Amino acid sequence: MHMLTPAPGSRKRRKRVFRMMWIERISAAAADNGISYSRLAFALAKSQVGLNRKMLSEIAIHDPKAFTAIVDHVRSAAPAA
């Protein structure tokens, strides 16, 4: 039973690490497209694009053209204030 006690903390830490990794990947891909992560996240929320960080990260890695299309779409749908 004592071996099971650190497991919840490890699971929470793993989730935190994955979220940071996804944000770093999205941030790098967004910078390649001339936008910051925070502006991209705001534009995605404003234009109601239903993609989570994990999917955006995967798209940024495996299909950069699609990621660029997403960035262009949110730029046109939600202009900067």
Query: Has residue 27 been placed in a domain?
Result: yes
| Tens of pLDDT, residues 21-53 | 999 999 999 999 999 999 999 999 888 888 899
Query: Has residue 69 been placed in a domain?
Result: yes
For residue 60, give its domain range.
9-77
Q: Is the pLDDT of residue 6 over 80?
A: no
Query: Has residue 32 been placed in a domain?
Result: yes
Query: Has residue 1 been placed in a domain?
Result: no
CATH for 63: 1.10.1900.20
Query: Has residue 68 been placed in a domain?
Result: yes
* DSSP letter, residue 33: T
Q: What is the pLDDT of residue 1?
A: 59
Contacts made by residues 71-79, CB under 8 angstroms, sequence distance 24+: 71/30, 71/33, 71/35, 71/40, 73/47, 73/49, 74/40, 74/43, 74/44, 74/46, 74/47, 74/49, 75/35, 75/43, 77/43, 77/46, 77/47, 78/42, 78/43, 78/46, 78/47
Binning pLDDT at 50, 70 and 90, where does residue 5 land? low
Q: What is the pLDDT of residue 80?
A: 55
Query: Has residue 4 been placed in a domain?
Result: no
Query: Has residue 64 been placed in a domain?
Result: yes
